[in-house]
Amino acid sequence: MKLALIGTGKIIEDALFAMEPVETIERTAIFARPHSRDKAEKFAKQYAIKEVYTDYEELLEKTEADTVYIGLINSAHYPYAKQALLAGKNVILEKPFTGFYEETKDLEQIANDKKLFIFEAITVLHNEVFYEMKKNLNKLGNIRMALCNYSQYSSRYDAYLEGDITHSFDPAYYGGSLYDINVYNIHYCVGLFGEPKDATYYPNIGPNGIDTSGTLVMEYDGFSAVCTGSKDSDSPGYVCVQGEKGFMKVDSKPNIASELKTVYADENIKEKVKDAAGAMVRATITEDYKAPEHHHRMTQEFTDFARVIDEKDYETAKEFLDETVAVVKVLETARKKAGIEF
């Protein structure tokens, strides 16, 4: 894969470091707006990127890259991705994919028509812990509950309270907690259980109409999935799935899951005992899983993107994109019901 990086922000810096050990990626070009050219030149020198552009149309026309990685503000995702697809480039688009479901479907259609690849860069879909959760789901019996929490006090929240509105807290740029941070929780649930029947969001709304935190409830047959995301307060992160026969839990921020504990009933032992609270406790089997260490939390996703593109693995690409489409639908449904306008 020959890759052009679009942007010079923190996520681009992370991505450049993350893909260092991925030998199947050739970092060919980088794009910056004119006022950020110096930063792009610095990245180019550091990572041996030979092409630097400040004109996006020129990059798409002249670059040797076959794929663009778009790490821009949320509101720029759709127009930059569409322009790249129409120019015949594969696209890796940072989360959240787009601000609107209609935009996502448009990108999907263009990519299909042109036989191009388009991916959402979301670490959940490229995490061994997530794969292990999928394998262990049937050990839990009928699912009764899913609880997810990704909360971290934003480095930009103090400024927001003072009236300095950055992109991540601005509805004009598709900011807010639901799209920025709760999206990880939603990917876990859609990836494990499929598209929900309905989704309702209960946000804490800031003075400019954006959600600084909130709880999303997704309705499935027989249970609900409750996803909390916060940029205005902090707490330990986790993902917990409960079934009639047991549970599994990730005890970390959902975007960097590295370990999984799965506990389920040992059906060979019928005896039960009471715990200190007087509840009957079944004998259980505990399985602990620890994922292999990676160079960076984003390294595996870039490894996967390069493989899928180089091998023209359209089946896997479709699986990734189908989940993204379902997640964008959940986001839009929940946002509109909560009265948050982009």
- Band (292; pLDDT cuts 50, 70, 90): very high
Q: Say what the pLDDT of residue 295 is.
A: 96
Report the C-alpha gap between 96 and 120 in whole angstroms.
8
To the nearest 10°, the Cα dihedral for 131, 135, 140, 141? 130
E-assigned strand segments in the chain: 2-6, 26-31, 51-53, 67-70, 90-94, 118-121, 143-151, 198-205, 211-220, 223-230, 238-243, 246-250, 259-265, 272-274, 280-282, 284-290
Q: Over range 61-69, report the average pLDDT.
A: 97
Q: Over range 329-333, report the average pLDDT.
A: 98
What are the residue ranges spanned by the domains of the chain?
2-121, 132-293
Find out whether 85 and 118 touch, Cβ atoms under 8 Å. Answer: yes
Is the pLDDT assigned to residue 280 strictly greater than 90?
A: no
147-189 per-position pLDDT tens digit: 999 999 999 999 999 999 999 999 999 999 999 999 999 999 9
Report the C-alpha gap between 170 and 168 in whole angstroms.
6
Q: Which CATH superfamily is domain 132-293 in?
A: Dihydrodipicolinate Reductase; domain 2 (3.30.360.10)
- The CATH code that applies to domain 2-121 is 3.40.50.720
